[in-house]
């Protein structure tokens, strides 16, 4: 690593102690930037890298709420508004017990480059809370969302910061937060949140976009080697929104999706997942993945615990959470003949696993490129809100496909230009960085 980059990375680690996920995301970006720093010394001279690693604003607040028994709980809320060089801050809100400042900063930092790659005019940010929605009633979730938005509303707006959903935050939670924002501000400001209901400002394809986009990216990678998703044996981790729609799109393109998982274990369905049954269990009943095996029949294997990556497959789409796929899992996938890995989640591969995939020469699409379909379609939702318009499914889907193809091609071309042909990690990080860095240079020392 270039001396200036290495020194700055050490400084970032020292200034942000204990935030391992943030450290990991910074390291991945910096490892790609050696040829950029050599070719463009003005980025170092203008302190672009120093400024990029320091969020423009970090907001931490108390979220008090009462459960159905009247017991008072206090959670912690976060919003990290990382970089607005390209547009208003844009990024999801995550409700999960694991959320702390380091997680939100890692997600916000990744979002800068992901949003840049989409070509849309959006900056990078992220938010969340350590609230656990699992097992909570609709009333409890509504009261929590209202309390959360009571503070957050001061800091967001369609020209300032536009949150969306993430883990633990779907259409229900977005609805409760939007209602509270409207009540507090006396404005029906549709563009302040994305992922809204279709009858009040939402966009078709937004629900499917992250999972669909990860598969589109995988298909584009395979086509560089004369293949496609058709006929592939696909491994998907997770069983949330991203995983379900990645499986749906892969099946539509002719692949056989054989796995899904949750925190308790995973299933292997050699006949291909019955997506209607899986959606019923996970989205409607909010049940466990084991129930799929019980209902589907004897040919389905359920494994409690373990690693879904032990199952042989040709394409892997990790879609659960960060660092779910470690170096041992990467070695197993490679030994089993995986051809392509397309990250549906944010940074689901550990640093060691990422290095193994890149060094092996397989097709590896990093999350900031492969899972950009969600935020890209959020930006399309913002366009529709701004014009008081609503697009049909086919038109929006075509826009998503074009954006994902453009991201793929930009990664390929940039990797080639900077001396690392076929390296999607380098291509994504360099392409995303340069667009933001140039905008920061143009806007002066702010």
Each residue of 13-32: pLDDT tens digit? 999 999 999 999 999 999 99
Between 185-194, 249-258, 298-307, the lowest mean confidence (pLDDT) is in: 298-307
Q: Is 279 annotated as a binding residue?
A: no
* Mean pLDDT within 135-144: 97
Q: Is 378 annotated as a binding residue?
A: yes
**Closest C-alpha among 71, 118, 76, 119 to residue 96:** 76
71 and 180: one domain? Answer: yes
In a domain, 128, yes or no: yes
163 and 118: one domain? Answer: yes
pLDDT of residue 354: 97
The pair of structure tokens assigned to 6 is: 């290495």
28 and 142: one domain? Answer: yes
236 and 122: one domain? Answer: no
138 and 266: one domain? Answer: no
For the cut 90, the answer to whether the pLDDT of residue 214 exceeds it is yes
For the cut 90, the answer to whether the pLDDT of residue 341 exceeds it is yes
In a domain, 58, yes or no: yes
Q: Mean pLDDT, the chain, as a whole number?
A: 97
269 and 153: one domain? Answer: no
For the cut 90, the answer to whether the pLDDT of residue 298 exceeds it is no
215 and 337: one domain? Answer: yes
> Cα–chain-centroid distance for residue 353?
18
218 and 163: one domain? Answer: no
The pair of structure tokens assigned to 90 is: 């844009």
d(CA 407, CA 421): 15
**260: β partners:** 267
> For residues 123 and 86, is the Cβ–Cβ distance under 8 A?
yes
pLDDT of residue 3: 87
163 and 219: one domain? Answer: no
Q: Is 259 annotated as a binding residue?
A: no
The pair of structure tokens assigned to 206 is: 């937004």
For the cut 90, the answer to whether the pLDDT of residue 2 exceeds it is no
* Mean pLDDT within 426-446: 98
In a domain, 388, yes or no: no
Q: Is 432 annotated as a binding residue?
A: no
In a domain, 35, yes or no: yes
258 and 361: one domain? Answer: yes
In a domain, 303, yes or no: yes
pLDDT of residue 335: 98
In a domain, 169, yes or no: yes
- Out of 370, 396, 413, pick the residue that ends a domain: 370
267 and 366: one domain? Answer: yes
Q: Is 165 annotated as a binding residue?
A: yes
In a domain, 319, yes or no: yes
Which residues have a catalytic role annotated? 126
42 and 83: one domain? Answer: yes
Q: Is 114 annotated as a binding residue?
A: yes
- Out of 315, 349, 370, pick the residue that ends a domain: 370
The domain in which residue 262 lies consists of 211-370
What is the pLDDT confidence band of residue 297, given thresholds at 50, 70 and 90?
A: confident
Q: Is the pTM of this model over 0.85?
A: yes
* Mean pLDDT within 40-57: 96
Number of domains in the chain: 2
Q: Per-residue pLDDT tens for 265-274?
A: 999 999 999 9
pLDDT of residue 286: 87
Q: Looking at residue 167, which CATH number applies to its domain? A: 3.40.50.10860
Q: Looking at residue 315, which CATH number applies to its domain? A: 3.40.50.720
Percentage of residues of the chain with pLDDT beyond 90: 98
Q: Is 210 annotated as a binding residue?
A: yes
- Out of 370, 400, 425, pick the residue that ends a domain: 370
In a domain, 352, yes or no: yes
């Amino acid at each position: 690593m270039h001396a200036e980059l290495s020194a700055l990375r050490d400084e970032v680690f020292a200034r942000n102690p204990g935030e391992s996920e943030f450290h990991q995301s910074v390291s991945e970006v910096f490892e790609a930037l050696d040829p950029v720093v050599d070719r463009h010394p003005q980025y170092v001279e203008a302190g672009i890298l120093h400024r990029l690693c320091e969020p423009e604003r970090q907001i931490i607040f108390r979220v008090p709420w009462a459960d159905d028994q009247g017991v008072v709980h206090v959670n912690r809320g976060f919003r990290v508004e990382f970089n607005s060089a390209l547009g208003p801050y844009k990024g999801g809100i995550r409700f999960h017990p694991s959320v702390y400042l380091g997680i939100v900063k890692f997600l916000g930092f990744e979002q800068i480059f992901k949003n840049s790659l989409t070509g849309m005019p959006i900056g990078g940010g992220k938010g969340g809370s350590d609230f656990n929605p699992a097992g909570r009633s609709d009333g409890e979730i509504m009261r929590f969302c209202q309390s959360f938005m009571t503070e957050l509303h001061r800091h967001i707006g369609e020209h300032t910061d536009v949150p969306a959903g993430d883990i633990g935050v779907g259409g229900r939670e977005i609805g409760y937060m939007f209602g509270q924002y409207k009540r507090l501000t006396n404005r029906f400001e549709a563009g302040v949140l994305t992922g809204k209901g279709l009858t009040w400002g939402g966009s078709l394809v937004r629900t499917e976009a992250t999972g669909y986009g990860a598969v589109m990216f995988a298909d584009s990678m395979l086509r560089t080697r004369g293949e496609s998703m058709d006929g592939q044996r696909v491994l998907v981790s997770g069983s949330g929104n991203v995983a379900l729609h990645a499986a749906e799109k892969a099946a539509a393109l002719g692949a056989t999706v054989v796995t899904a998982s949750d925190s308790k274990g995973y299933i292997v369905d050699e006949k291909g997942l019955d997506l209607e049954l899986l959606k019923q269990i996970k989205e409607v009943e909010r049940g466990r993945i084991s129930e799929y095996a019980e209902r589907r029949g004897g040919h389905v294997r359920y494994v409690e615990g373990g690693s879904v990556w032990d199952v042989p497959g040709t394409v892997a789409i990790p879609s659960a959470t960060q660092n779910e796929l470690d170096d041992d899992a990467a070695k197993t996938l490679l030994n089993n003949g995986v051809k392509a890995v397309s990250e549906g989640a944010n940074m689901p591969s550990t640093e060691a696993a990422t290095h193994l995939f890149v060094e092996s020469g397989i097709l590896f699409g990093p999350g900031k490129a492969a899972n950009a379909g969600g935020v890209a379609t959020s930006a399309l939702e913002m366009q529709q809100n701004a014009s008081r318009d609503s697009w049909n499914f086919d038109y929006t889907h075509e826009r998503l496909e074009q954006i994902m193809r453009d991201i793929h091609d930009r990664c390929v071309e940039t990797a080639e230009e900077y001396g690392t042909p076929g390296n999607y990690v380098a291509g994504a990080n360099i392409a995303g960085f340069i667009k933001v860095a140039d905008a920061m240079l143009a806007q002066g020392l702010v």
